[in-house]
Amino acid sequence: MPGYYPQDIEKKWQAHWKEHHTFKAENQSDKPKYYVLDMFPYPSGAGLHVGHPLGYIASDIVARYKRLQGYNVLHPMGFDSFGLPAEQYAIQTGQHPALTTEQNIDTYIRQLNSLGFSYDWSREVRTSDPQYYKWTQWIFLKLFNSWYNLDTNRAEPLKTLLDKFQQNGSEGIRAAGDEEERHSFTAGQWQSFTEKQKLQAVHPYRLAYQQDTYVNWCPGLGTVLSNDEVKDGLSERGGFPVERRLMPQWNLRITAYADRLLQGLDTLDWPDAVKEMQRNWIGKSIGAEVEFSVIRTENLEPRTQNSAENTLSSQFSLLSSKIKVYTTRVDTIYGATFLVLAPEHELLKELTTPDQQQAIQDYIDATKRRSERDRMADTKTVSGAFTGAYALNPFTNEPIQIWIADYVLAGYGTGAVMAVPSGDQRDYVFAKHFNLPIVQVVDAQQIDEQADPTKEGKYLHGLIQGQNYKQATQTLIQELEQRGIGKGKTNFRIRDAIFGRQRYWGEPIPIYYKEGVAYGVAEADLPLVLPEIDEYKPTETGEPPLGRAKDWKYKGQFEYELSTMPGWAGSSWYYLRYMDPQNVGRFVGEEAEQYWQQVDLYMGGAEHATGHLLYSRFWHLFLKDLGLVSAPEPFQKLINQGMILGRSNFVYRINGTNTFVSSGKKGDHQTTALHVDVNIVENDVLDIEAFKNWREEYANAEFILEDNGTYVCGVEVEKMSKSKYNVVNPDTLIEKFGADALRLYEMFLGPLEQFKPWNTNGMSGVAGFLKKLWRLYHPQDGDFAVTDEAPKPAELKALHKAIRKVEEDIEKFSFNTTVSALMITVNELTALDTHKRAVLEPLVVLVSPYAPHLAEELWQKLGHAPGSISSATYPEFKEEYLVEDVVNYPVAINGKVREQLQFPATATPADIEAAVRASDFLARFADGKEAKKIIVVPGRMVNVVV
């Protein structure tokens, strides 16, 4: 008996696809293009578990479906192959991270191929390949040699800036970035500058620039970590302490693009949640910048919540120091009763009085152990330290205390906030805790128990007394600008992206130093290849690992930058390289880029919303400014697949023993639940011998079993991870059930975007469906027996219902309902004993995106060229086959249904009424009464009124 043996079929077709380059995409075609992409995977040593392929399966279904629709489909795959895990392994073992990475990639490719994905492997890229990161370095150099012109609202080559300097000096130049970092000079001064002086003057304008920046420094890992890599003051990897440290860092000026990144979101077909995350991360706010003068005080008594207003102007004088504050509620400035600075604020050392130095230093030390994310998220803890210094509220002319608190961040706004406890709850709690004054600013405020941020009512003080919110805001900004102590300003929460890691396994930053000034490596000298080093940890003097490289200098004399690029560098533009990966002269060929334009469908996790997705958009906008790409955005449609959760099993050990009690018997014992490897459990029943062999300490374990002699495990749904022993390897399932069954089952679990629990027991049902499908073509698992006999109406009806349903559902990315529809169709055709080509040939095309191996096998048996189902045509839906010949009508007497009668679908209400009168219906159900009226609702029902 031939039967259905998926393992043999799947290996056969995977080999065929590889040999014949079945899914190779061309960069020019008469067909419409469709670019479907999976987010770049990092090749971890553990390989794939069953949760990883969820998005890959969905995108592959779409890719195969689009080919059937006549599209030229680009569906590539590659690897984000730089990363900290490989480097940590190298530090521990001495093995070069390239070797570890290569082995991991081999495992990934084998597993991906075993699932039958229709990738164009000829376009594979790896971020750690010098021929790839040559172009990552090239893009960095473009950023290094560009500035952002606010007059043209785009990036421009530095030459246009230098021309302005040559003609008019720095006067009138409007550039993105911190104006305070730049110096004013005339054209004549510029022309007299030395080369070094010119470079120093230009540096603060660059889109890639170096600056002392507060970073998350992890001494244990010897590197700077992103906020995402720090949790509760410890590194996510390894659990090492992390502290905030001021270090020279390379930065990319993403802030220049903040407004455009916001506006572009409106053009994208992305989940609303992801777009909202980016909007919040960018954080546009319209407000004002205000200068508070620092004052010298003599015996000034601090004002508290209970004290009368100070009128101590004779007791203080102004100092030269100014504290700039950015606020979105300048209307509340009369209620600003203290200032709060970030613990990293540049003026802190100057401001702190001698008697407060210890308290301030202790607070700074504590803050260093917390990441910015932790500081922002912690809204319950109230902490701070008084500097001993005072500032002058420019509108009340009252001295106000200057504090530090970790909820203020150095990198957002000016690193200082004016605290208005009557209008801000965090300020209110702070003021209550430290007994600081709270001043009502609007007559509508209710501040007895909490802050009230209302903008309703009339203002109570000074210049704005009696005004409403809009009037007050305009009045105050006008006054600030007239007095030269502030201005209206738009601000963004987003900060420039730190672009450096003190580690080895990453792209070298193509910068060298001459006389302490940064120069870009010549493009002709790219790639700057990672040098060989003897160890992969920082040097004994604290330099990054690249400091170990011997004789590694540009042109043999200039020191290179020792930091490497962050993990997101290579993944910010890889979608472009896929368009033209073999191009040696350009990062992507112009014709290829103009043909593919952008990714039509991007599949990946929502966790990348404010990292990879934002940085990619930033790089793309920059490349577009330089005329190097044509599409306005990199990814037009985004789908976030949900997570497949693990189904953990537990054994219950009686405390103090090596005896394990079955789940149903554990109530009589004090036990500890222990995770057990789900691969030695079937239908929650433990394989006891396998358990004894699993871990040495369980070799002599004893068991209290159920009455039927089995050991039943406990169950819990939780995240799939090695530590919980609930990881299911797809290799095992493919070997047992086949890849097509795994593909179908993952889609069948539920809606793509939702989290879903895994249960291997459900695989058998999907495998049974595929066997039933096989038997439509091979009755009783016998020989292939498809006939050319004309199909019956019922068979065509079942087929065309499926054609319409599958097309509608794939277009909506509702893959679970498609699988259900295919199962229903196969059941209907099995009941009809269908073996006809006119039905089964279109059916196999419908199935092919989901179960491609089985579809290829059946397609060949139907007489088509081997491996050609990808170039088949999606079946045309025909409404005529769904038209019913007869309609079932419920027939009621006085509203109570008595029976169902069939009438031709073409029957008119008059025809139906006549047929009911002519039948024995009234004789059987109306007790001999005559019908007064017969009401016919076409297609619905008949009601006889007696």
- What's the confidence (pLDDT) of residue 306? 55
In whole angstroms, what is the distance from residue 409 CA to residue 883 CA? Answer: 67
Q: How far is CA 75 from CA 290, 630, 734, 843, in A?
A: 53, 20, 23, 24
Q: What is the DSSP string of 741-777?
A: HHHHHHHHTS-TTS-EE--GGGHHHHHHHHHHHHHHH
| Centroid of chain to Cα 280 | 14
CB-based contact 807:66 (threshold 8 Å): no
- What's the confidence (pLDDT) of residue 617? 98
Categorize the per-residue pLDDT at 491 as very low, low, confident or very high, splitting at 50, 70 and 90. Answer: confident
CA proximity to 503, closest of 761, 771, 217: 217
Which burial class, exposed, middle or buried, applies to 187 when counting CB atoms under 10 A from its CB (0-12, 13-18, 19+)?
Answer: middle
| Centroid of chain to Cα 217 | 24
In whole angstroms, what is the distance from residue 774 CA to residue 857 CA? Answer: 10
- What's the confidence (pLDDT) of residue 233? 78
CB-based contact 641:54 (threshold 8 Å): yes
- Does the annotation list 722 as a binding residue? yes
CB-based contact 430:382 (threshold 8 Å): yes
- What's the confidence (pLDDT) of residue 195? 95
> Helix, strand, or coil here: 668?
helix
CB-based contact 218:242 (threshold 8 Å): yes
Percent pLDDT > 70 in the chain is 97
Tokens 């090749």 belong to: 43
Tokens 């067909």 belong to: 31
CB-based contact 265:462 (threshold 8 Å): no
Neighbours of 622 (CB within 10 A): 26
Tell me how many degrees the CA angle 139-142-147 measures, rounded to the nearest 5: 135
Q: What is the DSSP string of 659-697?
A: EEE-GGGGGGS-EEEEEE-GGGEETTEE-HHHHHHH-GG
pTM score: 0.85
Q: Where are the beta strands (DSSP E) in 177-303?
A: 208-218, 223-225, 230-231, 234-235, 243-252, 284-297
Q: Which token pair is 52?
A: 């990883």
Tokens 């906008």 belong to: 621
Q: Which token pair is 249?
A: 């860092």
- What's the confidence (pLDDT) of residue 245? 78
Residue 180 confidence (pLDDT) above 90: no
Looking at this protein, which amino acid is placed at residue 43? P
CB-based contact 415:342 (threshold 8 Å): yes
Beta partners for 285?
491
Q: How far is CA 384 from CA 326, 381, 402, 403, 412, in A?
A: 20, 10, 10, 7, 18
Q: Which token pair is 890?
A: 């419920």
Q: What is the DSSP letter of 585?
A: S
Q: How many CA atoms lie within 13 A of 422 on its CB side?
A: 24
Helices 739-748 and 730-737 pack at an angle, to 10 degrees, of 110
- What's the confidence (pLDDT) of residue 275? 96
Helices 97-114 and 84-93 pack at an angle, to 10 degrees, of 130
Q: What is the DSSP letter of 545?
A: G
Q: Which tens digits make up the pLDDT trace of 606-630?
A: 888 889 999 999 999 999 999 999 9
CB-based contact 650:714 (threshold 8 Å): yes
- What's the confidence (pLDDT) of residue 179? 82
* Between 306 and 715, the higher pLDDT residue: 715
Among 7-16, 817-826, 883-892, which is the least confidently predicted range? Answer: 883-892
Q: Which of 374-383, 861-870, 927-936 has the highest mean pLDDT?
A: 861-870
Which burial class, exposed, middle or buried, applies to 490 when counting CB atoms under 10 A from its CB (0-12, 13-18, 19+)?
Answer: exposed
The pLDDT of 669-698, averaged and rounded, is 95
Q: Which tens digits make up the pLDDT trace of 724-771?
A: 999 999 999 999 999 999 999 999 999 999 999 998 889 999 999 999
Q: What is the DSSP letter of 790?
A: P
Q: How far is CA 340 from CA 26, 495, 667, in A?
A: 60, 20, 57
CB-based contact 155:206 (threshold 8 Å): no
Q: Which tens digits make up the pLDDT trace of 217-273?
A: 888 877 777 776 787 778 877 888 888 777 789 999 999 999 999 999 999 999 999
CB-based contact 757:50 (threshold 8 Å): no
In whole angstroms, what is the distance from residue 393 CA to residue 336 CA? Answer: 7
- What's the confidence (pLDDT) of residue 795? 95
- What's the confidence (pLDDT) of residue 572? 97
| Centroid of chain to Cα 155 | 27
Tokens 């950023």 belong to: 143
Residue 135 confidence (pLDDT) above 80: yes
- What's the confidence (pLDDT) of residue 101? 94
Residue 525 confidence (pLDDT) above 60: yes
Q: Which token pair is 440?
A: 């009502």
CA proximity to 703, closest of 672, 653, 661: 661
Cα torsion angle, 265, 270, 271, 277, sign: negative
Q: Which tens digits make up the pLDDT trace of 402-434?
A: 999 998 988 777 889 999 999 999 999 999 999
Q: Which tens digits make up the pLDDT trace of 299-347?
A: 555 555 555 444 444 455 566 689 999 999 999 999 999 999 999 898 9
Q: Which token pair is 57?
A: 């399966």
In whole angstroms, what is the distance from residue 595 CA to residue 630 CA? Answer: 10
Helix runs in 626-779, H state only: 688-694, 730-737, 739-748, 763-777
The pLDDT of 502-529, averaged and rounded, is 96
Q: Measured over all CA atoms, what is the biggest interatomic distance in the chain, rounded to whole angstroms?
A: 118
Looking at this protein, which amino acid is placed at residue 631? A
User: Does a cis peptide bond (omega within 30 degrees of 0) precede residue 527?
Assistant: yes
Who contacts 268 (Cβ-Cβ below 8 Å, separation ≥6)?
275, 633, 635, 636, 637, 638
Among 16-20, 80-84, 184-188, which is the least confidently predicted range? Answer: 80-84
Residue 294 confidence (pLDDT) above 80: yes
In whole angstroms, what is the distance from residue 332 CA to residue 336 CA? Answer: 7
In whole angstroms, what is the distance from residue 795 CA to residue 828 CA? Answer: 8
In whole angstroms, what is the distance from residue 309 CA to residue 312 CA? Answer: 9
Among 131-135, 463-467, 535-539, which is the least confidently predicted range? Answer: 535-539
In whole angstroms, what is the distance from residue 230 CA to residue 375 CA? Answer: 12
Q: Which domains does the chain have, with CATH numbers?
A: 27-129+568-640 (3.40.50.620), 284-299+315-492 (3.90.740.10), 644-727 (no CATH), 735-881 (1.10.730.10), 886-945 (3.10.20.590)
- What's the confidence (pLDDT) of residue 318? 60
SS3 content of the chain, % helix, strand, coil (to 5): 40, 20, 40
In whole angstroms, what is the distance from residue 327 CA to residue 289 CA? Answer: 6
* Strand pairing category for 385-392 and 399-404: antiparallel
Categorize the per-residue pLDDT at 594 as very low, low, confident or very high, splitting at 50, 70 and 90. Answer: very high
For the chain, counts of helices (H) and of strands (E): 28, 35
In whole angstroms, what is the distance from residue 373 CA to residue 560 CA? Answer: 32
